[in-house]
Chain A
Amino acid sequence: MDGIEHRLRGLLRGEKRMIAQIISAVENDCAQGLLQNIFPYTGRAYHVGITGPPGAGKSTLVNAVAKQFLQQGKKIGIIAVDPSSPFSGGALLGDRVRMTDLAAHRDVFIRSMASRGSLGGLARTTKDAALVLDAAGMDYVLIETIGVGQVELDIAGVCDTTVVVLVPESGDSIQAMKAGLLEIADILVVNKSDRDGSERLVMELKFAMEMREREPDWEYPILMTTATEEKGIGQLVIALQAHIDHLSMTGKLEEQRKAKLLHHVHELVEQKIRSHLEENVMHEHDLRTLVDRIYRRRLDPYRVAERIARKIVKGSR
């Protein structure tokens, strides 16, 4: 009686309860065996990331974009990440409030995720959750980050296309020239464009993007939207599709996805080593006592790290 087989079949049939339970297992780190079995069925969905500062209208934009995709008869998976409290570990996941248009639609699956201590704008397991939705037969997986500042850029390592959403209040040309958020954008959106200053921001973004080292053959679109009224969403959907075409025609899709898989493997290895360290080599508490001695300058961090690394290598051979 193998639970994995049963779960996998439910997932591939697109049973919502099964998808949801598998994502929970992924979130709680008890799904490695399952993920191994799911992986061969992934790679078909197109992953779109939506990121931007808090209150920029990411959820509302996701809602509007998903509606258009639904009209085209596509299946949509949505993962919306909100922050966990570093104090209580709790989270208030409120992205669904902006997505009530999609509620109970047959071809939509929305999952809210708490960031659970990750600092890059996503939860550590968001990538795997997206794979679960991919295997469940979604055409598009839309991933919405927490409200980000300048350096929470994990999303770019997870998605094929990254949309950065800004609002007229997002800042001036100097902000636009800074490293970070804008560098990961494939498409830029100025949302709430009915407000003052949106045209000026578009100009400044254009200026900033022109100075960037650019990807050849891709004209970075800078679009104006008003997501609450669904204005400009059509253009955004066209831009998304244009970017997909661009990626697949230039062969960049494969190249990009390979780079991301490499990164994924690295991450997993790091996690494995970390838990191996914690469980078999040296426990956090023992490490603390060592830190005591480091603090009193009887030991130094470099030598301690070297010794621990040696222990790990020995233990695994």
Chain B
Amino acid sequence: MERKIRVLVGKPGLDGHDRGAKVVAAALRDAGMEVIYTGLHQTCESIVDAAIQEDVQVVGLSILSGAHMTILPRILKLLKTRKAGDMIVIGGGIIPADDAKKLEKMGVRRLFGPGTPTVEIVDWIRANAGKVGKSGKVGKSGKVPRHQTVKKKKATAVARWRKKK
């Protein structure tokens, strides 16, 4: 079994508009990811705590309140202090281009503005989250995770089967 991509979709702060977050969450679910949705009005602390407990590779935050310059840097900082700086933070919402540049410099990996096709978000996460795979390494004394060897076998079996035909 491959390492599933786990994504936290959070709504930090005070705005109560979660249609966008829900649309993204549903799209990621349909793309085969496990999406943890936190609900509205979350503090930065509770989002970071949830991200850690859920061991997600990606933290996706929807902010429509205009507080992005406060919230996003705070979440980045909290993740770092909790030794989870390796988690990928992305965001969406109404974020002016100047702010977006600053945020991306601070370490927000990507911001998706209004009108972004969900496919784009899915593809971006697939391209960027798969690489971490930290838990894939945990196994019996650092052996190659079993799913890789299994896959290889499957491939040869398919080839054999095709030849027969």
Interface on A for B, CB 8 Å cutoff? 2-4, 7, 16-17, 19-25, 27-34, 84-85, 88-94, 96-97, 100, 103-104, 109-112, 114, 116, 278-279, 283, 285-286, 289
Contacts and interface: CB of A to CB of B under 8 A. Distances in A.
27 contacts: A3-B142, A16-B53, A17-B55, A20-B53, A22-B138, A24-B6, A27-B4, A29-B146, A30-B135, A30-B137, A30-B145, A31-B139, A33-B139, A85-B29, A85-B32, A89-B32, A90-B28, A90-B29, A90-B31, A90-B32, A92-B25, A93-B54, A94-B37, A96-B36, A112-B34, A112-B36, A279-B153
Interface string B53-74: 1110000000000000000000
Interface in B5-41: 6, 25-26, 28-39, 41
A21 B55 contact: yes
Contacts, number: 138
**Of B30, B55, B150, most A-chain CB atoms within 10 Å:** B55
A114 B34 contact: yes
Interface residues of B, number: 50
A139 to B, nearest CB: 17
Contacts of A90: 28-35
Contacts of A17: 52, 55, 82-84
A317 to B, nearest CB: 23
In this complex, the member of B26, B36, B49, B141 whose beta carbon has the largest number of chain A beta carbons within 10 angstroms is B36
Contact of B53 (A2, A84, A111, A286): A111
B161 A29 contact: no
Contacts of A88: 29-32
B75 to A, nearest CB: 13
B134 interface: yes
A289 B165 CA distance: 11
Contacts of B6: 24
Given A16-B53, A92-B37, A93-B35, A25 B138 contact: yes
Interface of B: 1, 3-4, 6, 25-26, 28-39, 41-43, 45-46, 49-50, 52-55, 82-84, 134-142, 145-147, 150, 153-154, 157-158, 161
Given A28-B135, A97-B37, A109-B53, A33 B32 contact: no
A103 B54 CA distance: 12
Contacts of A279: 150, 153
